[in-house]
Structure 1
Amino acid sequence: MSLHPVLASVTDRLIARSGSTRRRYLDGVRAAEDARADRAQRGSLSCTNLAHACAAMTDTVKGRLTGPTGPNLGIVTAYNDMLSAHQPLETYPALLKAAAERLGATAQVAGGVPAMCDGVTQGYEGMELSLFSRDVIAMGTAIALSHQMFDAALYLGVCDKIVPGLLIGALSFGHLPAVFVPAGPMTSGIANDEKAKVRQLYAEGKVGRDALLASEMASYHGPGTCTFYGTANSNQMLMELLGLHLPGSAFVNPGTPLRQALTEHAAAVAVEIAAGAPRYTPIARVIDERAIVNAVVGLMATGGSTNHTLHLVAIARAAGIALTWDDFHDLSAVVPLLMRAYPNGKADVNHVQAAGGIGFVMRELIDGGLLHEDVNTILGTGLRAHAKEACLSNSGVDWRESPAVSGDASVLRPLSEPFSADGGLRLLTGPLGRAVIKVSAVKPEHRTVEAPAIVFDDQNDLLAAFKRGELEQDFIAVIRFQGPRINGMPELHKLTPPLAVLQDRGFRVALVTDGRMSGASGKVPAAIHLSPEASVGGPLAKVRTGDLLRLDAEAGTLEILIPADEWQARSAAVPDLQRSAFGVGRELFGGMRQLATSAETGAMTFAHPLWADADAAAG
C-alpha cells in the first residue's frame, strides 16, 4: 500500500519546516559520536573519575567496567511505591543488571527521576507542579547520564509527564541508544461506565463520600497503570509506535511471567544496539520526522490523550523537529478511529490487549498506508516488526502475528470498518486564539454550542457555583489564567462531572480554557490549551460574563459574538500573580513559569538553544 497523500504531505512540510533546527540537532549528535571515537565513554575518563564510578560495584563488574569490552547500560528509573504504575519498577534494575551480566555487559542505575500523579493532585495545589515535572524529569535524566559512563540507556517510566520527560532527556543524549521499559496496567476493576456514573451521582449530591471512595478503590486497586485510556496509557501506545518498546509490551500486566521476560529481554536489545555494537542505533536515528508523524497518527487512531498536543510538540522540538497543531489537525482528518476505550468507550486497556492490542492497530494502519513503515526502531527491522503480539517461549519471550480479526468489535476495529472516519482531534481558531478540542466522545449534537459566557478565574469557583445551583442554564464556562506562565497549566479534570451533569439535564454547555482538561476528557465539548494564554495578553482575558460565545467543533471555530468596536475598546482583566506563587513547593517553580513557552510550542521551560531564534521571532 502506498503512503496516504496527506501523510506524505504533512511529513514533507514537517521536514522542510524543521530544516535548520534538525540539522543543528544532528550536528550536535555527530559531534558527541565523534568524541567517543568508537570507544566506551568511560574509556575517556581519568583513573580517578572511573574509580569513583566503580567503587560500589562487585569485583566482576569492576573488571568489566575498567576493561576494554562490554557495554555498560545506564538505567534511569521513575520508581516509587506510592504510585501504582511505578511500584512494579522496584525490581526492574536487578532484573536488567542480571540480564546484562549474562551477556557479558554491565548495567548501573544512573539516577532516579520524580514521578508525580495527576490522579492524586487533581484539583489541588500540587497539580500546578504537574506539567513542569515533565521538564524536571528531562533535566534529571540529563543529570543521570552526564557521568559519561554509558553505551546505551534503559528508561523505566509509565505515566503522564514521566515518559515525555524521559524521552526529552534521552534526546538530549541523542548519540546514546535508548530502550523504554514499561510496567503494564493493573488488572481490570469495576466497569468504567459504573465508575463514571458514581462520580456524577456524587457531583449531584445523590451519594456520599463513602460510596464514591468505595467505587474509586474498586477501580484503582492494585499495582500497574490506571486502566483507562488517558495520558499514561497513551504514552505506552506512543512508545510502541515510535519503536522504542519491545513489540506488544505496553499492556502486559505487571507480576506476570511474560512481563518479567519482556523486561529481561529489553536489556538484551539494549546490549545489541549499544555504542560499539554492530547494530549501534542511537535514539537520534529513531526519532525523526517520520517517527513523529507516526506518533501523531497513533494518537488519532486510538483516541489518545489531548495532553500529547503539548508533549509530542515538546518531544519533537527536543529533536529539532517543528511539529505544530496544524499537523495534528490535518492528520486527524484522514486517520480513522480504530479503538474505543474509556473515556471514549466502555472498555479499558486490558480489553484492548485481549481484543488484539496495539499491534492490531499498527498493522491496520501500515496496511492502509497511514504509517511510515520504513523507520528506524530498536529492532532495526522497520515498524512492521513491531506490529506483533508478545508471547512466552522456551527461550523466554517471542513474538507472533497480531490477530487477523479483532476479538471484540466494540473495542478494536479494522481500517475497513472504523468507529469514525477521523481521529476526533480538531484545531479551533478565531478571535480568542488557537485551541484544540477532542470530540471522540462528544456526540455530534453537542459539538456546536452558542451560549453566554460565565467567566471564572479558578476551577473551584465553578465547582462552588454548581453546588449553589447557579449554573442551571445554557452557558460556556470560561476558565482563564490557567496557562503555563501563570500557574503551570493544571488539569481541570474535576470540572468534567458537574459539566456532564448539566449536559445530561438538557443544558447546552461547553468549556473554554487556556488550561489543560485531561487525557481523560470526555463527553462535554472543551476548547483547551487556548493560546496565547490570558496572563500574557491572550484575548481570553477580555471576555466577560454574559458575552455570547460560539464553539463549533465541526467548523473548527471559536468566536465571540459582540460588536467589533466594543471588543477592541475593552481592557483585559489582570491576573492575581500571587495566587500560585507560594505553597506546596510552588515558590521553587517561579523561574520555570517565567520561561514557559506557549501551549502550542509545548509549554517548555528550557531556554533551548535550538529554538532561540525561532521563538524570539515569534515573540
Structure 2
Amino acid sequence: MNTHATVTAVTERIRARSAPGRTAYLERLQATAARTRGADRMGCANVAHAFAAMPSNDKFKVVAERAPNIGIVNAYNDMLSAHQPLQHYPDLVKDEVRRFGATAQVAGGVPAMCDGVTQGLPGMELSLFSRDVIAMATAVALTHDMFDGALMLGVCDKIVPGLLIGALHFGHLPTVFVPAGPMPSGLSNNAKAKVREQAAQGLVGRAELLQAESAAYHSAGTCTFYGTANSNQMLLEAMGLHVPGTAFVAPGGALRDELTREAARTVLGHGGTIGGNTAAFKCPPIGQLVDERAIVNAMVALLATGGSTNHLIHWVAVARAAGIVIDWDDFAALSEVVPLLSRVYPNGSADVNQFQAAGGTGFVIHELLDAGLMHEDVLTVRAGGIRDYTHEPLLQDGALAWAAPGPSKDEAIVRSATAPFSATGGLKLLQGNLGRSVIKVSSVPDDRHVIEAPARIFESQEALQKAFSAGELERDLVCVVRWQGPQANGMPELHKLTPPLAVLQGKGFKVALVTDGRMSGASGKVPAAIHLSPEAAAGGPLAKLRDGDIVRLDAPAGTLQALVPQAEWDARTPDTMPEALRVANGLGLGRDLFAGMRRNAAAAEEGATTWL
C-alpha cells in the first residue's frame, strides 16, 4: 500500500524543517554509541561503586563476561492506581535477563503524580512541569552511564512523555516501554459524568458523588476512559516502542507477567517473533527509531482514535528531544485525511477495556497501515516491524503467541478505515485575532461546532464555578478563562469546568470555553478552544478581550475571532495578570520551587518545554 499523499507531504516538510537539528542529534547519538562500554571505559572506583550492591554472580557477568546491563527507570508509586502494579516488575525483569546471561539494575525512580487527585487544586499547577522533571530524573538515572539498554516503566499522563523525552536524551540506548494496563471496568464513564453534572446543580450531595467516583476508580490499573494516560499507550504502540499489543492488557495475571518478561527479552534482542520471522535482530537505539516517520505515525494514531489534546503539547516536546520540529499545522493537515476509527469515552460510551475487546490497538494500526495512513517502513523494537503491532498477544500452553485482530468485534466502538465514524480526525486548528488554539470536535454535537455569543471573562476557574453556582451564566455565552498558560501558573487542566458547562449546554444554551489552559482528553461534549497561544500572561491577544465582546468560534472554518472593529481592537492595551493572582500562583505547596520553569516555559505550541 502506498503512503497517503498528505501523510507523505507532512512527513517531508517535517523532515526538511528538522534537518539541522536532527542531523546534529544523530551525530551526538553516533558519537556516544561509539564509545567503549561503561564497565571497560570507567575507572575502577567508578565501576566498584556502580556494582557494589549487585550479587556476586551479576558482578562477574558484567565485568568479566562483559554481559549486557539493562537500566530500569521506574515510575512506581502506590498513589497512582496505574503505577501500583509496577512495584514487582524489576524482579521479573532481573530474573528474565539472567536467563540470557545479562543483568539489570533499577537505575532510578521518577516522580509520578495523579492529575485525578490534583484536579482543581494547587497541585495541578505542577502537573505539566512534572513532565520535564520526570525527563530530568530519567537523565539522572541513566547518566550513571553503565547501561547497554533501558526499560521505561510508566503509564500515566505526564509520565510517559517525560520518560520518552529523558530516554531520547540517551538515544544511543535500545529502549523498550513497559506499561501496566487498565483497571477492570467499574461504574460507566457516562454514569459518572451524569452524577458529576447532578452534583454541579446541587441535586446530589458529597456522599453520593464520592460513592459514584469510587465505583469508577476502584482498583489497580489505569483509569478506563480514553484520556491522556491511555492515549500514551496507543501512541507508544504506533511508534513501535512496546511489546506488540501490551497497552491494554489488564494488570496481574500470567499474560501481563509474560509480557513484562518479553519486554526484557526484547531489549536484549531475544524477543519472540510474529509470522515466523526468525532472523537475528538487535533492538535499535531509541534515538534512531524515533524519526520523522515514527512521530507522524503517533500523530495519525492519536487522530484516528480521538485521543487526548494534551499530546499536541507533549508530542511536540517529544519530537524536539529527538531533533524534530512539529507544529499544530502538521496535526491539522493530518486530521483532514485521517478518519476517526474508534469511539471511546469521552468520544463514545465504551471504555478502554471494551475498546480492547473490540479489536483495540491492533485493529486500529492494521486499518491505518492498510489505508496507507501510517508509514510501514519504520524501525520498531521488534524484528517484524510495525506490522507486528497489528496483532493481539495471548498465552498458548504458557507461552506468548499473537493473533491477528480480524474484523471489528463491535462496530459501535471500532470501525474499518473504509467505514469510519468520521472521515476526519476531529481535531481542528483555530486561528484569528485571539491567537492560535485547538479544538477537539469528535465528541461535540454537530450543531455546536459554531458558537457566536458574548464573552464573559474569568481570571480563574474558581471564579467561573462561583458565577455558575450564583446562576449568572444562564444564557448563550463564551466563557473565557485566562491566566492559565505555562508562564502564568503552569497550565493546569480545567476539568472541574466540564460539569457546569455541560449543564448549561444541556439546558439548551449555546456555550463554549476559550482558554489558554488545558482540558485534555476528557474535555467532553462542550466546544472548547484550548491551549490558546500566545497566552495572556505573555501579552497574548486574549488579554485584550473584554466582557461583552462577541466571540465567534467556528470549527468548520478553523477560526476563533473577537468580533470587535479592527481600529478598536488595535487601540486596546492588553490587561496584565493581576499581581495578587501571580503571587498566589507562585506560593505554597511547592509551587515556588517551579518559578524558574514558569519563567522559562515555551508556548504551548512549542511543547511548553522548559529545557530548550
Give TM-score scaled by structure 2 length: 0.97
Shift of 1:88: 0.2
Which of 357, 380, 387 pairs up with 2:390?
A: 387
Shift of 1:312: 0.5
1:603 equivalent in structure 2: 608
Shift of 1:386: 1.4
2:505 equivalent in structure 1: 503
Pairing of 1:442-453 with structure 2 (within 5 A):
442-453=444-455
Given that 1:273 and 1:281 are in contact with CA atoms closer than 8 Å, whether structure 2 keeps it comes out as: no
Shift of 1:259: 0.4
Cα deviation code 1:244-288 (max 9, x no counterpart): 0011100000012110110011101111189xx961510011100
Q: Does 1:252 align with 2:257?
A: no
- Supply the distance in 2 between the matched residues of 1:314 and 1:192 (Cα, whole angstroms): 30
Q: Does 1:441 align with 2:443?
A: yes
Q: Does 1:573 align with 2:575?
A: yes
Which of 135, 140, 146 pairs up with 1:138?
A: 135
2:157 equivalent in structure 1: 160
- Supply the distance in 2 between the matched residues of 1:507 and 1:347 (Cα, whole angstroms): 27
- Supply the distance in 1 between the matched residues of 2:518 and 2:560 (Cα, whole angstroms): 17
Q: Does 1:271 align with 2:271?
A: no
Which of 290, 312, 321 pairs up with 1:309?
A: 312
Q: Does 1:232 align with 2:229?
A: yes
2:560 equivalent in structure 1: 558
Given that 1:152 and 1:273 are in contact with CA atoms closer than 8 Å, whether structure 2 keeps it comes out as: no
Given that 1:185 and 1:227 are in contact with CA atoms closer than 8 Å, whether structure 2 keeps it comes out as: yes
Q: Which amino acid aligns with 2:122?
A: E
Pairing of 1:349-388 with structure 2 (within 5 A):
349-388=352-391
Q: Which amino acid aligns with 2:247?
A: A
Given that 2:26 and 2:288 are in contact with CA atoms closer than 8 Å, whether structure 1 keeps it comes out as: no
2:551 equivalent in structure 1: 549
Pairing of 1:53-72 with structure 2 (within 5 A):
53-72=50-69
Q: Does 1:535 align with 2:540?
A: no
Shift of 1:42: 2.3
1:409 equivalent in structure 2: 411
Pairing of 1:378-527 with structure 2 (within 5 A):
378-394=381-397, 396-402=399-405, 404-527=406-529
2:33 equivalent in structure 1: 33
Shift of 1:599: 0.2
Shift of 1:19: 0.8
Cα deviation code 1:310-337 (max 9, x no counterpart): 0010000100111110000000110000
- Supply the distance in 1 between the matched residues of 2:145 and 2:564 (Cα, whole angstroms): 60
Unaligned 5+ runs, structure 1: 609-619
Q: Which amino acid aligns with 2:388?
A: A
- Supply the distance in 2 between the matched residues of 1:302 and 1:367 (Cα, whole angstroms): 16
1:11 equivalent in structure 2: 11
| 1:18 alignment partner, SS class | helix
| 2:585 alignment partner, SS class | coil
1:612 equivalent in structure 2: none
- Supply the distance in 2 between the matched residues of 1:171 and 1:518 (Cα, whole angstroms): 24
- Supply the distance in 1 between the matched residues of 2:399 and 2:211 (Cα, whole angstroms): 39
Aligned residue pair count: 601
Given that 1:387 and 1:401 are in contact with CA atoms closer than 8 Å, whether structure 2 keeps it comes out as: yes
Q: Which amino acid aligns with 1:252?
A: V
- Supply the distance in 2 between the matched residues of 1:212 and 1:121 (Cα, whole angstroms): 17
- Supply the distance in 2 between the matched residues of 1:17 and 1:269 (Cα, whole angstroms): 33
1:613 equivalent in structure 2: none
Q: % of aligned pairs identical? A: 60
1:616 equivalent in structure 2: none
Q: Does 1:592 align with 2:600?
A: no
Shift of 1:395: 5.4
Which of 189, 208, 214 pairs up with 1:217?
A: 214
Given that 1:273 and 1:378 are in contact with CA atoms closer than 8 Å, whether structure 2 keeps it comes out as: no
| 2:302 alignment partner, SS class | helix
Shift of 1:573: 1.1
- Supply the distance in 2 between the matched residues of 1:203 and 1:278 (Cα, whole angstroms): 56
Given that 1:80 and 1:90 are in contact with CA atoms closer than 8 Å, whether structure 2 keeps it comes out as: yes
- Supply the distance in 2 between the matched residues of 1:196 and 1:440 (Cα, whole angstroms): 17
Deviation larger for 295-304 or 24-33: 24-33
- Supply the distance in 1 between the matched residues of 2:369 and 2:407 (Cα, whole angstroms): 15
2:340 equivalent in structure 1: 337
Given that 2:266 and 2:283 are in contact with CA atoms closer than 8 Å, whether structure 1 keeps it comes out as: no
- Supply the distance in 2 between the matched residues of 1:498 and 1:89 (Cα, whole angstroms): 36
Which of 148, 151, 157 pairs up with 1:151?
A: 148
Q: Which amino acid aligns with 1:595?
A: N
Which of 222, 237, 259 pairs up with 1:262?
A: 259
- Supply the distance in 2 between the matched residues of 1:544 and 1:278 (Cα, whole angstroms): 61
- Supply the distance in 1 between the matched residues of 2:39 and 2:476 (Cα, whole angstroms): 65
1:79 equivalent in structure 2: 76
1:126 equivalent in structure 2: 123
Cα deviation code 1:194-233 (max 9, x no counterpart): 1111111111111111111100100000000000000000
Shift of 1:66: 1.4
Given that 1:14 and 1:289 are in contact with CA atoms closer than 8 Å, whether structure 2 keeps it comes out as: yes
Shift of 1:41: 2.1
Given that 1:339 and 1:413 are in contact with CA atoms closer than 8 Å, whether structure 2 keeps it comes out as: yes
- Supply the distance in 1 between the matched residues of 2:201 and 2:188 (Cα, whole angstroms): 20
Give TM-score scaled by structure 1 length: 0.96
2:277 equivalent in structure 1: none
Q: Does 1:297 align with 2:300?
A: yes
Judged with a 3 Å threshold, the aligned counterparts in structure 2 of structure 1 residues 103 and 394 are, in CA distance, closer, same or farther, namely farther
Shift of 1:382: 1.9
Q: Which amino acid aligns with 1:509?
A: V
Deviation larger for 380-389 or 145-154: 380-389
- Supply the distance in 2 between the matched residues of 1:405 and 1:536 (Cα, whole angstroms): 50
Q: Which amino acid aligns with 2:151?
A: L
- Supply the distance in 1 between the matched residues of 2:281 and 2:232 (Cα, whole angstroms): 30
Given that 2:76 and 2:86 are in contact with CA atoms closer than 8 Å, whether structure 1 keeps it comes out as: yes
Q: Does 1:196 align with 2:193?
A: yes
Given that 2:246 and 2:259 are in contact with CA atoms closer than 8 Å, whether structure 1 keeps it comes out as: yes
Shift of 1:381: 2.4
| 1:579 alignment partner, SS class | helix
Cα deviation code 1:344-385 (max 9, x no counterpart): 000000001111110000001100000001100000322111
Unaligned 5+ runs, structure 2: 272-279
Shift of 1:393: 2.5
Cα deviation code 1:39-67 (max 9, x no counterpart): x3222111111111111111111111212
Which of 170, 175, 182 pairs up with 1:173?
A: 170
| 2:35 alignment partner, SS class | helix
Alpha-carbon RMSD across the aligned residues, in angstroms, is: 1.1
Given that 2:228 and 2:521 are in contact with CA atoms closer than 8 Å, whether structure 1 keeps it comes out as: yes
